[in-house]
Amino acid sequence: MYTSAGVHSRTILDISEKLLSRTPAWVSRVQADLLDILPLQDESYDLILCSFVLLHLSALENLFIEARRVIRPKGRMLIFHHQERRPRVHTIEGRPCKIQTRHWTFEQIQE
């Protein structure tokens, strides 16, 4: 079962000011473009959740470079997305990387 015990803060990052204005007041808001260097501190997050972001980016390299920079050493990154129609092999820092697709139930995600 999902629990927020131990969660000290939450941050939402989006390019859309309109979307950010709809978030609860207790959530930190950062307006930024994922193609730029993100205005976030190094190793400042335990978990990064990306919802449907892969559909909106033509290049994924910066997303993964910045995620690697801001996530703590034992942190996790989860990307939720629809089945993509483009190839799942991308070049990140000059190396080919394959995006793996896993189909999970809601209960498996909660675990």
Has residue 1 been placed in a domain? no
When divided into structural domains, the chain yields a total of 1
Report the mean per-residue pLDDT for the chain. Answer: 79
Q: Does the pLDDT value for residue 71 go beyond 80?
A: yes
Q: Does the pLDDT value for residue 24 go beyond 70?
A: yes
Has residue 25 been placed in a domain? yes
Has residue 3 been placed in a domain? no
Angle among Cα 47, 12, 41 to the nearest 5 degrees reads 65
pLDDT of residue 42: 95
pLDDT digits (tens, 9 = 90+) for 85-105: 555 566 667 777 666 666 677
Has residue 87 been placed in a domain? yes
Least confident of 8-12, 18-22, 34-38, 106-110: 106-110
Question: What is the CA 43 to chain-centroid distance, rounded?
Answer: 14
Domain that holds residue 98: 11-110
Has residue 18 been placed in a domain? yes
CATH, residue 31: 3.40.50.150
Q: What is the 3-state secondary structure of the chain? A: CCCCCCCCCCEEEECCHHHHCCCCCCCEEEECCCCCCCCCCCCCEEEEEEECHHHCCCCCHHHHHHHHHHEEEEEEEEEECCCCCCCCEEEECCEEEECCCCCCCHHHHHC
Has residue 2 been placed in a domain? no
- Residue 43 pLDDT grade (very low, low, confident, very high; cuts 50, 70, 90): very high
What is the value of pTM for the model shown? 0.64
Has residue 4 been placed in a domain? no
Q: Does the pLDDT value for residue 59 go beyond 50?
A: yes
